[in-house]
Amino acid sequence: MFEIIRRDGLARIGRFETRSGVLETPALLPVINPKICTVTPRELYDEFGFRAIITNSYIIKNTPELRAKAQEAGLHDMLDFPGIIMTDSGTFQSHMYGEVEVTNEEMVEFQKSIGTDIGTVLDIFTEPYWTKEQTAESIVTTLRRTGKACDIKGDMMINGVVQGSIYPDLREDCARKMADMDVDVHPIGGVVPLMEQYRYLELVDVILSSKKGLNPNRPVHLFGAGHPMMLALATLMGCDLFDSASYAKFARDERMMFIDGTYRLQDMQSLDCNCPACRGLTLESLKKMDNRKKTATIARHNLYQITGELALVKRYVREGRLWELAEMRCRAHPAMLDALRRLGEHQEFMERYDPISRDGAMFYTGAETRGRPVFKRYSERIVDRYIPETDKAALFYDEGSKPYSKARPADFDRVRRAGYTPVIVSPFGPVPAELDEVYPVAQSVFPKMEDTDTILESESLTVRFLECKFAETVNGNDVSDDGTEEHDPDTIRAKAVSRYQFGIQATEALFRGRIDLVISRKTGKIRNVISDGEHVLSMRAGDGLYTLKKEGADRIVSAIPAPFMRVAVMDDAVPFVSEGRNVFCQFVTECDKDLRPMEEVIVTDKSDKVIATGRMALVADEIKSFKKGVAVKVRSGAGDEA
Ligand code: GUN
Ligand code: ZN
């Protein structure tokens, strides 16, 4: 059972329940070579806090002493590891050394017999140099073997490995078929050569095409990925599990992992590491250690780099800032920068899972930041959903101080009196003054010295926007001060934000008849929208977006047919949700596919009656596939509305 606790991008902090305990994801499983324990499993558990490890059942099976011990005492006792043990099946050995002389059934049965928690099918490793035909054929075999493994797995969990070399369509198709099988975890396999060859750009396509086909309710394991440098990016793309043999392999070659790469001890100029393994050591004292101790020290250092980075990745997910961390990490190597740039080309897919707002400001880290989904969402919404009050625009330029209407109230008043709509050219592109407090416009920090990419992109978005929305554009500074047109900036803002957030049709339903606004006396900001005497919306100060009230929800439901903005629940859940309890996945019968995480949502019963309003915790396809977890954070039920 897998449950999402927090999310950011495609990243999730999850709870994965197994018979040997619960694993919080993202997690990395250190690889244990049962023949050489560089760091013992017990130390991994007690000292480093690893709750899961991975070892190789093929090696155990082919080593008579190990085999006998594992079958007698069980894997957990043999390794002295009280947590979760995953085993691999010999596929990696076939990649390294050619054919292995075991069958799939034999390997699955063996893994069961030694008490593995999560076993692996004997999948076929699809090499990046393979032809498409060869790859497609081998996937058929992997799928057949996976089906067989599911039949005989008993109470062992099983890894259903997504293969497909570098062919996105084969990856997606394989993933879709794996998703339909009774497997428990989805490793993405066949990627080790891509990582060894620094082909991170292709790795992005491989991961995302696999993710497109997979069922979101199972953890995704990136097989063979364990370098701290890539954890942030891979987590952002929705990988939940990782494994690392490198921490020990590199240690034996005297290579130290750092967040910006791997360094050979002999090439290092200094040892400036404060991890518990290195503390108190100098480069000289480390070099002089006897070999055993040196290997153990470097292995421990490597593990601390991994645990440190993983903790940081989790913190950034919790803070909703994983894009920022991934962008920083991808500067460590040009091949990683390629991966980040490629990820920007998958903006449309990433946008479906990207939260509508977040706490705190978003930081711009460089031109690649434009590849984040928020940029695409903003530029699409102002084209699709914005309706100007007048057909003349007066342009101003972002001078760093935000929100813009607080920075230059006199200028905006002057052009409005002359019948113009103030539009600010910002790094997001054009911002009509009435949208200047909406996330992410006001809640973002850009450097004062703009880069050429941002200037050009912003200009081209502005030109397109002005062409489709206005008949005339002038420079805001050229507009004279003698205009006398009446205008009401608060009402213009109230409607514009609603259209931006809920669309044009819903806004017509919400803003009907007489409109009264409650304005905060302290901040001057809109607090509540009252339409024909009904409180329909409240505006949040933090992200400048609305929360939807019961009356507002009723109007949308009357005006626009389901499933627009709705999550419908079963009868069983109605009494609880009406009282303000959250909606859990298993009670949802239908859900609007256009709703994004954190978006306002209307909870209805089966006859489309409003029973509550709240915010989306997951998106439609996730809700459909999860058996557990919160789907909607309910703000207030219809039953307890004052
Ligand atoms: N270890 C690294 N890559 C793979 C893979 O593709 N399949 C299996 N079973 N193990 C791996
Ligand atoms: Zn160290």
552-573 pLDDT, tens per residue? Answer: 999 999 999 999 999 999 999 9
Q: What is the pLDDT of residue 627?
A: 83
| pLDDT cut 70: percent of the chain above it | 99
Residue 224 Cα to ligand 1 middle (Å): 7
Give yes or no: residues 89 and 223 share one domain. Answer: yes
88 an active-site residue? yes
Other Cβ atoms closer than 10 A to 321:
18
What are the residue ranges of helices labelled H in 11-126? 41-46, 57-61, 64-73, 75-79, 91-97, 104-113
pLDDT per residue over 204-251, tens digit each? 999 999 999 999 999 999 999 999 999 999 999 999 999 999 999 999
Residues 48 and 89 reside in one and the same domain: yes
Check residues 272 and 599 and name the one with the higher pLDDT: 599
Residue 231 included in any domain? yes
Helices marked H in 276-402 — which ranges?
283-288, 291-319, 322-329, 334-344, 347-351, 373-385
**Is ligand 1 within 6 A of the CB of residue 119?**
no
Specify whether 52 is located in the same domain as 192: yes
Contact 637, 579 (CB under 8 A): yes
Q: Is the CB of 224 under 6 A from ligand 1?
A: yes
Whether the per-residue pLDDT at 480 is higher than 90: the answer is yes
Chain centroid offset of residue 138 CA: 31
- For residues 316, 322, 326 and 328, what is the CA-based torsion angle, rounded to 10 degrees? -60
Ligand 1 and 123: CB distance under 6 A: yes
Q: How far is the CA of 188 from the centre of ligand 1 (A)?
A: 8
Instruction: Report which of 580, 579, 595 is spatially closest to residue 506, judged by C-alpha positions.
Output: 595
CA 408 to each of CA 48, 58, 430, 639: distance values in angstroms, whole numbers, following the listed order:
54, 70, 16, 45
Answer whether residue 357 is part of any domain.
no
Catalytic residue among 46, 80, 88, 151: 88
Q: Does the CB atom of residue 56 touch ligand 1 within 6 A?
A: no
611: containing domain: 561-642
At residue 642 the predicted structure's pLDDT band, cuts being 50, 70 and 90, is very low
Q: Rounded to two decimals, what is the model's pTM?
A: 0.95
pLDDT at position 639 is: 54
Q: Which of 487, 517, 544 is the last residue of a domain?
A: 487
Q: Quick one: average pLDDT of 161-165?
A: 98
The number of domains in the chain is 4
Structure tokens at 370: 């434009």
Angle subtended at Cα 391 by Cα 388 and Cα 394, rounded to the nearest 5 degrees:
85
Q: How far is CA 205 from the centre of its chain?
A: 15
pLDDT for 19: 97
H helices present in 346-424, as ranges: 347-351, 373-385, 404-407, 409-417
* In the block, residue with structure tokens 């070579």: 33
Q: Is residue 356 part of a domain?
A: no
Angle in degrees, 0-180, between the axes of helices 322-329 and 228-236, rounded to the nearest 10? 140
Same domain, 271 and 143: yes
Q: Note whether 323 and 470 are same-domain residues.
A: no
Rounded Cα distance, 38 and 475, in Å: 69
Dist. CA 467–CA 469, nearest whole Å: 6
**pLDDT score recorded for residue 81:** 97
Distance from residue 295's CA to the centre of ligand 1 (Å): 26
Q: How much distance in Å is there from the Cα of 241 to the middle of ligand 1? A: 13
The candidate with the shortest Cα–Cα distance to 610, out of 577, 633, 585, is 577
**C-beta separation of 369 from 419 below 8 A:** no
What 8-state DSSP symbol labels residue 563? T
Same domain assignment for residues 108 and 47: yes
499 and 605 housed in the same domain:
no
- Which residue has its alpha carbon closest to ligand 1 atom 11? 92
3 state DSSP class of 480? coil
> Mean pLDDT, to the nearest integer, of 123-129?
97
Instruction: Tell me which residue has its CA closest to atom 8 in ligand 1.
Output: 91
pLDDT for 510 equals: 98
pLDDT in tens, 240-272: 999 999 999 999 999 999 999 999 999 999 998
> Do 315 and 329 reside in the same domain of the chain?
yes
Q: What is the pLDDT of residue 636?
A: 74
Residue 31 neighbours by CB under 8 Å, 6+ apart: 53, 54, 55, 56, 226, 243, 244, 245, 248
* pLDDT higher than threshold 50 for residue 159: yes
The overall average pLDDT reported for the chain is 96
* pLDDT beyond 60 at 501: yes
Strands 600-604 and 610-616: antiparallel
Binned at pLDDT 50, 70 and 90, residue 638 comes out as low
% the chain with pLDDT above 90 = 95
The alpha-carbon radius of gyration of the chain (Å, integer) is 28
579-594, pLDDT tens digit by residue? 999 999 999 999 999 9
Are residues 551 and 581 located together in one domain of the fold? Answer: no
